């Protein structure tokens, strides 16, 4: 089974160990930095491919050094990039991620050519959607040219073709204004699987508890709601069935991209027909390995399977035994 991702590609410049955000006119110091090919679509694609999932991308980059770096990194990792448009004369988007010593982060972003992303860039590559089992729309607020109505139309078309439609919008820089809430209601009506973090789920639903958030979000359309709860693990509701899985205890190097890597782990289990609990546990494990290190961050299938045996829901799976005993990264 394959997965098609529609969403934002950009460069992340990460500055770590920043004690606090500076006031205007002032400066603070970090202790380390890295530059990565990223965006929600990029992080998700890298993580899925490292788990061995056939992955294609529909997105855009600028015709510049950063854009060519992103394309090279994706190609090297085996992501199908035939659907990625290079925008002549345009600049690739860049985000500066400021990371505290505990791994929490904040972002400042220049969208660059992401502001020019539109449905016209998707249509020529619709065959990527047609050949996938799962269609993911991610980083919606970083591709503002794709309206809620247009996005709903695209996911609705994919859903009618029998695809699982997944949505992870990321945080709204406009703080969920009334028009955004209305747009989300339109979009969620065409979503099979919604994967917000807890802050996003609370802002959209207006509820205080995980159960309350999930029920309110399900009422808008998604059969399954998965809520990423950071240091409190992850939660899911499918129909009336619910599950809350605790996190693994790890030292956090930084959490930039952690939610996207969790998504990859969850989707891996989903496409194999695992239980909600096993999917959450695999997502937790994949993300925990990713956030705990600086180099070679995206974990491979065997490593995730071995580590994930800490969770009873995974240790009992025949799949996990086969991955550990019969596969190699």
CATH number at residue 121: 3.40.1190.20
Q: What percent of the chain has pLDDT over 70?
A: 99
Beta bridge partners of 58: 6, 83
- Across residues 136-146, what is the average pLDDT? 97
Contact 55, 2 (CB under 8 A): yes
Determine, yes or no, domain membership for 279: yes
For 76-101, the pLDDT digits (tens) are 999 999 999 999 999 999 999 899 98
For 196-217, the pLDDT digits (tens) are 999 999 999 999 999 999 999 9
Determine, yes or no, domain membership for 102: no
Determine, yes or no, domain membership for 152: yes
Q: Is the per-residue pLDDT at 171 higher than 60?
A: yes
Half-sphere exposure of 324 (CA within 13 A, CB side): 15
Threshold 0.85, pTM exceeds: yes
Mean pLDDT computed over every residue of the chain:
95
CA distances in angstroms from 191 to 113, 219, 224, 232, 252, listed in the order given: 26, 12, 9, 25, 32
For 32-77, the pLDDT digits (tens) are 898 999 999 999 999 999 999 999 999 999 999 999 999 999 999 9
pLDDT confidence of residue 255:
86
CA 82 to chain centre: 20
- The tokens for 195 are 């994967």
Rounded to whole angstroms, the Cα distance separating 28 from 85 reads: 37
Q: Is the per-residue pLDDT at 328 higher than 70?
A: no
Determine, yes or no, domain membership for 166: yes
The strand ranges marked E within 80-149 are 80-87, 94-99, 105-110, 134-138
Determine, yes or no, domain membership for 120: yes
pLDDT confidence of residue 183:
97
- The tokens for 65 are 């050094």
pLDDT confidence of residue 297:
93
Range of the domain at 119: 2-9+40-93+114-326
Determine, yes or no, domain membership for 66: yes
Number of domains in the chain: 1
Half-sphere exposure of 180 (CA within 13 A, CB side): 16
pLDDT confidence of residue 327:
63
Question: Where on the phi/psi map is residue 163: left (φ > 0), alpha (ψ -120 to 50), or beta?
Answer: beta
């Amino acid at each position: 089974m394959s997965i098609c991702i529609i969403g934002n590609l950009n460069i992340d410049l990460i500055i770590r160990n920043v004690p606090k955000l500076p006031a205007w006119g002032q400066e603070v110091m970090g202790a380390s930095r890295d530059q990565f090919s990223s965006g929600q679509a990029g992080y998700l694609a890298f993580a899925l491919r490292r788990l061995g999932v056939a992955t294609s991308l529909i997105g855009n980059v600028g015709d510049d050094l950063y854009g060519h770096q992103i394309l090279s990194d994706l190609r090297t990792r085996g992501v199908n990039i035939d659907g990625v448009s290079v925008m002549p004369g345009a600049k690739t988007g860049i985000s500066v991620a400021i990371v505290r010593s505990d791994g929490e982060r904040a972002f400042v972003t220049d969208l660059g050519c992401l502001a020019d992303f539109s449905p016209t860039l998707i249509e020529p590559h619709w065959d990527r959607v047609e050949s996938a089992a799962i269609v993911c729309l991610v980083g919606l607020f970083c591709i503002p040219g794709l309206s809620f109505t247009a996005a709903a139309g695209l996911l609705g078309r994919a859903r009618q073709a029998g695809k699982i439609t997944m949505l992870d919008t990321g945080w709204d820089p406009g703080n969920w204004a009334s028009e955004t809430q209305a747009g989300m209601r339109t979009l969620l009506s065409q979503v099979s699987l919604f994967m917000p973090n807890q802050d996003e789920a609370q802002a959209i639903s207006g509820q205080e508890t995980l159960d309350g958030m999930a029920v309110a979000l399900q009422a808008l359309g998604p059969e399954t709601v998965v809520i990423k709860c950071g240091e409190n693990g992850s939660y899911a509701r499918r129909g009336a069935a619910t599950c809350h899985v605790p996190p693994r205890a790890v030292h956090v190097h930084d959490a930039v991209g952690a939610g996207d890597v969790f998504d990859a782990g969850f989707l891996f289990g989903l496409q194999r027909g695992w239980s909600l609990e096993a999917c959450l546990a695999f997502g937790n494990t994949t993300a925990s390995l990713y956030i705990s290190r600086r180099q070679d961050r995206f974990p491979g299938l065997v490593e995730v399977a071995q580590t994930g045996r800490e969770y009873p829901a995974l240790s009992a799976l025949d799949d996990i035994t086969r991955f550990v005993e019969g596969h190699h990264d």
